[in-house]
Amino acid sequence: MKKGTRQEIPRKAVYRLSLYLRCLHRLKINSIRTVSSEALAKAAGVKSTQLRKDLTYFGQFGTRGLGYDVEQLSTMISDLLGTNSLQPVILVGVGNLGSALLSYRGFEQEGFEIVAAFDAYPDRAKTRTVKQPIHGMDKMPEFIKEHSVRMAILTVPIPAAQEVTNTLVENGISGILNFAPIVLHVPEDVTVNNVNLAIELENLSYFIQH
Amino acid sequence: MKKGTRQEIPRKAVYRLSLYLRCLHRLKINSIRTVSSEALAKAAGVKSTQLRKDLTYFGQFGTRGLGYDVEQLSTMISDLLGTNSLQPVILVGVGNLGSALLSYRGFEQEGFEIVAAFDAYPDRAKTRTVKQPIHGMDKMPEFIKEHSVRMAILTVPIPAAQEVTNTLVENGISGILNFAPIVLHVPEDVTVNNVNLAIELENLSYFIQH
DNA sequence: AAATGTGAAGTTGTTCACAGCT
DNA sequence: AGCTGTGAACAACTTCACATTT
């Protein structure tokens, strides 16, 4: 249905577009107007041919013999990713990790704002000093609808993860950043990105010995 | 040099081995002795043929007509990944995210112990209540050598990231879990796994609108 | 009968080589 | 001359089909 005439952008390419965007921001700060695929690719840690191929998935932005306009290219990528306007995000599960993420500066710079947090025991969670309001789980459905929230960060314990996910999905969330080390089952129009810190370490552990 | 006769295990397969290991642990807890590739694959969210192929990269563990011995298979995978013995890890950069990770329970269960933390301003960092000792950066080289630490979690600000990385590498660290949104340059015998939370959100942002 | 192990086929993602602009 | 854009070649990964074992 969604797979119309326009070609799909490979998952990995979308990920790299974010890397390019970071580098373009840095160039902009340094008042650099134009950049070649070679230079930008190097900054992002990829091959220049890959960068050019990635861009062709959604258009042509370069000038042959010259390179890319930094301002224009970053606008095009931001538009595509949907980070030009500030997007509201909610966080569910205000434990250690959850409260750290609530205070994490890295999101705002990239166009995301954690507007509220939810926890099964909001009073206990409130002892953590964060600027966002912390509500009970029962307030979640209404909040999501009222504020048209589409993305959620999930930092609840394993036993609660699937049930909370169901509630999120039922109320209109279509993107979940999941920190619970478990496979979440969701309808196919919902995207889940898993971040599993223990697995990342385990992965390192393998590569340092082989 | 290291690439002897034994076949290399694809990066993605190594990652999935960790997923299988999680599922096997859960089966063990429920006193389940034997499992088929079909059942285990389903729990891990992959196809059964992929699971079997992944396992053949490093051996044959199943019994035809029956399946895999849960205990034996999890031991084999743990051995391969190197998580059978508790591994010491250090953390550098005790800010919001860093201190959250210091308190995060998820690591210990999987065979990793954060034994110490380092920060440029250890006194400020010490106001955060974590159980690990927090040292100044100058103590790092000696500590790494003395305790034979090989893995590090990097949660320092961007401007410090490359310099700290150099120090880590010079003193024997060969695996880095990097949370700084920047491409780290390291010798090829050092492995860096990047976790970039803002990019994960940006990625979600793309997929919820396409 | 049930389930693994694996060569071969298929798919996806990456790099090359070079044509085509500016 | 310099650098982009892209079809074609290549490489990596996934799935299939089925022979093999218990």
CATH number, domain with residue A129: 3.40.50.720
Q: How confident is the model at residue A129 (pLDDT cuts 50, 70, 90)?
A: confident
| Average pLDDT over every residue of A119-142 | 91
Which of A 119-148 lie inside 8 A of B, CB atoms? none
Is residue A207 domain-resident? Answer: no
Q: Where is average pLDDT lowest: A2-11, A19-28, A37-46?
A: A2-11
Any CB–CB contact under 8 A between B204 and chain A? yes
The domain boundary, picked from B34, B56, B80, lies at: B80
Containing structural domain, residue A103: 87-199
Q: Do the chains contact at A198 and B44, CB–CB below 8 Å?
A: no
Query: In the structure, how far is the CA atom of residue B14 from the C1' atom of nucleotide C16, in angstroms?
Result: 29
Q: How confident is the model at residue B126 (pLDDT cuts 50, 70, 90)?
A: confident
Judgement on whether residues B116 and B169 belong to the same structural domain of the protein: yes
Predicted pLDDT at B6: 55
- pLDDT of B5 strictly over 50: no
Is residue A209 domain-resident? Answer: no
- By C-alpha to C1' distance, D21 is nearest to B64
Judgement on whether residues B101 and B190 belong to the same structural domain of the protein: yes
CATH classification of the domain holding A75: 1.10.10.10
d(CA A184, CA A154): 11
Judgement on whether residues B124 and B186 belong to the same structural domain of the protein: yes
Judgement on whether residues A130 and A67 belong to the same structural domain of the protein: no
Split into its structural domains, chain A has a count of 2
Residues within a 7 A CB radius of strand C: A 10-13, 46-47, 49-50, 53, 63-66; B 36-38, 48-49, 52-53, 55-56, 60-68
Determine if strand D comes within 7 Å of the CB of B56: no
Q: How confident is the model at residue B4 (pLDDT cuts 50, 70, 90)?
A: very low
The domain boundary, picked from B37, B62, B80, lies at: B80
Predicted pLDDT at B1: 32
Nucleotide lying nearest to B55, CA to C1' measure? C5
Task: Tell me the pLDDT tens digit for each residue of A79-127.
Answer: 999 999 999 999 999 998 999 999 988 898 899 999 999 999 999 887 7
Predicted pLDDT at B3: 34
